[in-house]
Amino acid sequence: MAQVSIKRCYDYSPQNVQRAVSEAVSLLGGIEKFVKAGQKVLIKPNLLSARKPEEGVCTHPEVVRAVIKIVKKVTDNIFVGDSHGGFDIINMDNVYEASGIKNVCLEEKVTLVRFDAVLNVEGIPFAKIVKEVDVIINVPKMKTHGLLILTGGVKNMFGAVVGRHKAEAHFKHVKPSDFAFYIIKIFMYVKPAFTIMDGIVAMEGDGPAAGALRDAGLILASPDAVALDAVFADIAGLEPKNVLTTVYAGKMGLGTSDLAEIQILGEPLDSARIKDFKMPEASFIYNAPAWIIKIFGRAIKTFPIIKTGSCVSCRICEKNCPADAINIDKYRIDYSKCIFCFCCHELCPHASIGVHKPLMGKLLTFLMKMRRKNVHRNDNMEK
């Protein structure tokens, strides 16, 4: 039976984070069970873009520090690294600086690595270091995701892919199901030995970069990232089967996606659940029945818009658009090209890409929300 530990932590003070992370790992047998003396360890947080810790976009540096300190009990051969979500217009040095990760690595005297060296596996450019280390410890952030509903342990390994390939993957895999399968392919190549999720402050709504922050007060840990994501889904008010990366990975034998086969250690699941956790607006349309989408088409389609009042013309959205559909000089998105991946919304550091929904789409979203809430309530009653 898979195991997931849950510990409470209500703030990012170093002592509280260290306690919660240490206890979560100890409940699963201690770090020595997963890391051996002298092994090379890569700690891989979620560092989407150059955002400050208080913005809740990236894994908080104090959670990364706590993981470093635990791993140091076994080995000093520690590396920390990730790749951002865009092209070279986003400087990774700026990401490390703004997120607080650079400072933590300097203070803890561990090696901060850039994912520059590339190893191609079946045409996918992976950061070479993911194949050079003995152990990967995955440290995702608890967030929503417009295309995949939630982003957790499995999705976080997409950061092992570098350069323009991320955008190309969105362009080639437009449907949520296709993109989910692609994410799982990445996960198969760089499967982490252990996952620790920063859920102290979570992001709900239109994540993973422009959502609202929510005090969840949680640290989740497991050697099974799929099981951890299944528990995260339940905590957020979803059935794991509604999260494609979770259900597909479970079916492929990459982990456990069935809550009935997962043992919860530490905080009881009932008390960890977050009431009325808001899902991304786009996700309800993506998951509507195919016949509804076919009949109503654009009348219900959620799409990105440029907020001209707050746009500073940094061109991050334009340079990172997989479909080359954005012209910032004209503040225009060509919807005949747009693939509705919401990469622009995800990467904009100024929250200047909004999500617009037509009236018909708002009605369908409301009905889908009610349906999802009722299904989840009925399933819980049956349990």
372 found inside a domain: no
What is the DSSP secondary-structure string of 116-149?
A: -SEEEETTEEEETHHHHSSEEEEE-EEEEETTTE
CA distance 247 to 314: 38
Q: What is the CATH number of the domain that holds 152?
A: 3.40.50.11440
257 found inside a domain: yes
| 55 and 134 part of one domain | yes
Cα-Cα-Cα-Cα dihedral of 311, 314, 319, 324, to 10°? Answer: 30
Q: Which residue has the tokens 């609202």?
A: 212
Q: What is the CATH number of the domain that holds 319?
A: 3.30.70.20
224 found inside a domain: yes
Q: Which residue has the tokens 């786009």?
A: 282
Q: What is the pLDDT of residue 341?
A: 84
| 315 and 221 part of one domain | no
Q: What is the pLDDT of residue 147?
A: 86
Q: What is the pLDDT of residue 268?
A: 97
Q: What is the pLDDT of residue 303?
A: 85
| 260 and 310 part of one domain | no
125 preceded by a cis bond (ω within 30 of 0): no
Strand, coil or helix: what is 78? strand
Into how many domains does the chain fold?
Answer: 2
Domain containing residue 331: 281-361
Q: What is the pLDDT of residue 150?
A: 96
235 found inside a domain: yes
pLDDT tens digit sequence for 11-63:
999 999 999 999 999 999 999 999 999 999 999 999 999 999 999 999 999 99
| Helix H or strand E encompassing 41 | strand 41-45
378 found inside a domain: no
Residues of the chain below pLDDT 70: 87-89, 282-301, 357-383
| 101 and 186 part of one domain | yes
| 65 and 164 part of one domain | yes
382 found inside a domain: no
| Helix H or strand E encompassing 84 | none
Work out the end-to-end distance of the chain between its first and last CA atoms, rounded to an integer number of angstroms: 18
Residue of 41, 143, 49, 31 whose CA lies nearest to 87? 49
